[in-house]
Chains A and B, each alone.
Chain A
Amino acid sequence: QLQLQESGPGRVKPSETLSLTCSVSGGSIDSRDYYWDWIRQPPGKGLEWIGSVYYSGNTYYNPSLRSRVSITIETSKNQFSLKLNSVTAADTAVYSCARRRLPAPKRVVVAAGNWFDPWGRGTLVIVSS
């Protein structure tokens, strides 16, 4: 059973860089069928998609964060990472990693794909001096 686990500092100072790693176990990250994503949820607010990385290193980012975010993948370690620079208090959130299923080329259900499963449990990062 595939499992994802986030790790990294629980507190980051304003203007510094938030760095998190997602370790994948129970399966290979080196797959053509999936993207590997980061999602966050600020306290009391909804979920926000941050971005994705493919096994090849190809990435997609939310335009709202694109100027500050970088997601990389290390297939040899079966993990992928998030860096968010110039953080402010608004970046305080629970950060979760997840696997995203790409639409299968010959799928029966046309709208099937781009769902997140599984997710990590998430890690709270507080931006504070």
Chain B
Amino acid sequence: DIQMTQSPSSLSASVGDRVTITCRASQHIDSYLNWYQQKPGKAPEFLIYAATSLQSGVPSRFSGSGSGTDFTLTISSLQPEDFATYFCQQSYSMPWTFGQGTKVE
């Protein structure tokens, strides 16, 4: 199985801050990497696919980068509604696997 490791596991930030979350794959996965946002008690929301492509309707302050084994999710200017947990998922091969999540608080 491909192991996905996120860092940090949590971070403290303020409205307006630039936030960066890292996801590392245990093997090369090209650009087969997706990002999600989850708020307490709610279903996860799909943000980014193929490492860099923004899902329709997702604010442009979200962006993704990376390829191979190292990936980054960036929020350019944190908004109040962005305080949540973010996790990555590799779509390179089954079984699909996820990072353990990064809580932005």
Chain A residues at the B interface, C-beta cutoff of 8 Å: 4, 45-49, 60, 62-64, 96, 109-122
Instruction: Bin the interface of chain B by size.
Output: 20 to 34
Q: Please classify the interface of chain B as helix (H, G, I), strand (E, B), loop, or mixed, using the class held by over half of its residues.
A: loop
Q: Is the pair B91, A115 in contact by a Cβ cutoff of 8 Å?
A: yes
Question: In the complex, which residue of chain B has the Cβ closest to the Cβ of A62?
Answer: B95
> CB-CB < 8 A to B55: which residues of A?
117
Chain B residues near A63 (CB, 8 Å)?
95
Residue of B whose beta carbon sits closest to that of A118: B43
A46 touches B46 (CB 8 A): no
Q: Contact between A109 and B53 (Cβ–Cβ < 8 Å)?
A: yes
List B contacts of A122 (CB < 8 A).
Answer: 43
Structural contact, A46 and B101, CB atoms closer than 8 A: yes
A121, B46: Cβ atoms closer than 8 Å: no
B21-61 Cβ-contact flags toward A at 8 Å (1 or 0): 00000000011111010000111101001110101000000
Min Cβ gap B64→A in Å is: 11
Measured in the bound complex, the distance between the Cα atoms of B87 and A122 in whole Å is 16
Which 5 interchain pairs have the tightest Cβ spacing? Answer: A114-B91, A117-B46, A111-B50, A46-B100, A47-B98
CA–CA, A62 and B98, complex, Å: 13
13 chain-A/chain-B pairs, Cβ below 8 angstroms: A49-B95, A49-B96, A109-B49, A110-B30, A112-B49, A112-B50, A113-B49, A115-B46, A115-B89, A115-B91, A116-B46, A119-B44, A121-B42
The minimal Cβ–Cβ distance linking A61 to chain B, given in whole angstroms, is 8
A62: chain B residues within 8 A (beta carbon): 94-95
Give the CA-CA distance A9 to B96 in the complex, in Å: 26
Contacts of A120 in B (CB 8 A): 43
Contact of A46 with B98 in the complex, beta carbons under 8 Å? yes
Give the nearest-CB partner of B6 in chain A.
Answer: A46
Are A116 and B99 in contact, CB atoms less than 8 angstroms apart?
A: no
For the complex, what is the distance from the CA of A109 to the CA of B31, rounded to whole Å?
10
Residues of B within 8 A of A121 (CB): 41-43
| Beyond A46-B100, A112-B50, A115-B89, 14 extra complex contacts between A and B, CB < 8 Å | A47-B98, A60-B94, A63-B95, A96-B44, A111-B32, A111-B49, A111-B91, A112-B49, A114-B91, A115-B46, A116-B36, A116-B46, A119-B43, A122-B43
